[in-house]
Amino acid sequence: MKLYKAVMALLMSATIVLAQDVPSGFVDLQKAVPTVVVELRYSGENNFIGKPIDGYEARICYISTPAALALKSVQEKLSLFGFGLKVFDGYRPQRAVNHFVRWAKDLSDTKMKAIYYPNVLKSELFEKGYIAARSGHSRGSTVDLTLIDLATGKELDMGTGFDFFSPISWPTSKEVTSQQRANRLLLRSIMMSQGFRPLEEEWWHFTLANEPYPTTYFDFVVR
């Protein structure tokens, strides 16, 4: 209950910043770390809604400068073992989160259910926490990513795909193989070693512990 009250207090004190241009504290991740692969899912149709999301007008992954520097360190360490990062999302405009909320309320739109949420009712997405009115991504220091083999470019097998709405996506799930758990642990360990904290419900989700904008939710368009 104390944790719930603390989270609610933080949300109540949060500020939404509307901006036309990219704030000075943000960078294009691929310019900052050119060897990172970016597959910005919400700028296209391969996502749980099945179409480009509001606020994503270009395939550019913006992220706070401190988070980009930390990811550069992660990439350098992974490269020693022949691995690298593929990023699915970084900064997420608040208008994109609003798009998710509107979509979740439309129970007739289940276009991508078989791929992204086959075992959960769309009416339960809010209740189970898969969709929320605020996202840490909008603060600019949260990233969704996976590992790839640098030699082949192939993703390591994590047991589920990105944004698969199910307990099997929890990093600690025992429903995946030992190799898949090991791959998740490798990603988790190296991200934590460079100052990121994981999310217990999504193996792909990490937030910089010392994020520069802990109570600010940005809404500039990705373009």
Strand order from edge to edge, sheet including 142-149: 37-38, 83-89, 142-149, 202-208, 196-199
Tokens representing residue 55 in the block: 């606020």
Tokens representing residue 211 in the block: 């994020």
With H, G, I as helix, E, B as strand and everything else as coil, classify residue 13.
helix
Report which residue type is found at 55.
Answer: G
Residue pair 41/89 in contact by the 8 Å Cβ criterion: yes
With H, G, I as helix, E, B as strand and everything else as coil, classify residue 59.
coil
76 is catalytic: no
Residue pair 90/142 in contact by the 8 Å Cβ criterion: yes
Q: Which of 39, 124, 127, 202 is catalytic?
A: 202
Active site residue ranges: 202
